[in-house]
Amino acid sequence: MLSTVLAYVYDANGCRRACRVLLDSGSQINFISRHLADPLDIKTRSSDISISGINNVTTRAFQAAEIRLHSRTNSFSILVDCIVTEHVTGKLPAFTLKRNAFEIPANLELADPQFHVSSEIDVLIGAEHFWSLLCIGQIKATPSHPTLQKTRFGWILAGRLHTAPKAASHVHSLHASISNKQLHEQLSRFWDVENISAVSNHYTSEEAHCERHFLENMTRTDQDKFIVKLPFKESEPDAFVNSREIALKRLGGIERRLSRDSELKTRYSQFINEYNTLGHMKLISDPPEDPKSFYLPHHCIVKALAANKFRVVFDASAKDAAGISLNDTLMVGPTVQQDLFTILLRFRTHRFAFSADIVKMYRQILVHPSQTRYQRILWRDDFTSTVATYELSTVTYGRYGRCNPQ
């Protein structure tokens, strides 16, 4: 049997309520159940605490409150700081006992006259106050009653019940402690984030091959621009199947869209014409039939929230009639940019810092002239004119295998 007390507590309006209290020296903290705290309308405060019990089962509580418990047998009262929880424990005792089975001296005033009736627990008082509640006076257990102990609330009963079944099917084991495990885990994550450890570049075999390809095939122009070769997974493809016909169909779809939006048509044409003017693509007059060439379909991307954010994207993931795309034949290179964490740390090093962007960064890198045939596009500024063929001369977005320098 666990020791219980019947006490009084006053709500915010000064009305007295009876509550059942469990005295538990195995708990580091005190508890009050939600079904008592809410009707009392007491003021609560935030308190994020992890609570662990038997088998290290952990739960969390987020509120705490102070209540004053009053003895029903004398003028004693005590202020208790409690954690608010949905349920303190199950009903105690686990089953109702026969009151006449206990031979308790008639002159003892019990702290809980209904100790033998199975009922809910509203408050738990832990080790913080447990020992200060005990008084001098104890009656040892006998076959007719458990140990009797005098407290500031009256006499309590605790100990083995000789009248209880030998093998109880439901047992209450009350123990609670404040756990620092959550705090430890949070601090561990914090130090992991703040740790500035050197990150080694562990490339995959394909990434390493791609890097070697770049180092072995990269050259420079007289203007000191980079010239690179496309990093094919094996040798250059023998042929692509009907990629021109697929690109031509996609161009027809784009033209139908542009015919319904004159402003979009103007911006699309300006983008392509600028591409040509800057020397980033070249016109191929009367291109011969070349099965090794790949024609890239293209479409536009417009950012609705930024009026000047418009660009044409070349789709190197488009499949030819055999289900093969240009991207399928290229290796994927490693990320050459520094990680964001390093960039932010460097940004904080100096009092003043500048943030800038390299205009048309990828298009400053040229593709080797022998491989521009893998970057052909179809375009005509006038829907009634003949469709022209162009070859992109530079590295472009929308394609894998960017073995580009930093």
What confidence score (pLDDT) does residue 308 get? Answer: 66
pLDDT given at position 182:
61
pLDDT at 306: 59
**Spatial distance between the Cα atoms of 231 and 326, rounded to a whole number of angstroms:** 11
Q: State the pLDDT at residue 238.
A: 87
Strand partners, 138: 149
Q: Which residue has the tokens 């538990």?
A: 24
Q: How confident is the prediction along the chain (406 residues), in pLDDT tens digits per residue?
A: 899 999 999 998 889 999 999 999 989 999 999 999 999 998 999 988 888 887 778 888 899 999 999 999 999 999 999 999 999 998 999 888 988 888 888 899 999 999 999 999 999 999 999 999 999 999 987 877 789 999 999 999 998 876 555 545 555 555 565 655 566 677 777 777 666 555 556 788 888 899 899 999 999 999 989 999 999 998 888 899 999 999 999 999 999 999 999 999 999 999 999 999 999 999 999 888 888 999 999 999 887 665 667 889 999 999 999 999 999 999 988 887 777 888 888 888 888 888 887 778 778 899 999 999 999 999 999 999 999 999 999 998 755 554 433 3
The string of DSSP codes covering 230-276 is: --BSSSPPS--SSHHHHHHHHHHHHHHHHHT-HHHHHHHHHHHHHHH
Phi-psi region of 48 (alpha: psi -120 to 50; beta: other; left: phi over 0): beta
Q: Which domains does the chain have, with CATH numbers?
A: 4-162 (2.40.70.10), 203-392 (3.10.10.10)
In b/e form, how buried is each residue of 6-18, taking b as 16+ CB within 10 angstroms? bbebbeeeeeeee
The residue length of the chain stands at 406
Q: What gap in Å lies between CA 362 and CA 405, rounded to an integer? A: 10
> CA torsion 21→23→26→31, rounded to 10°?
20
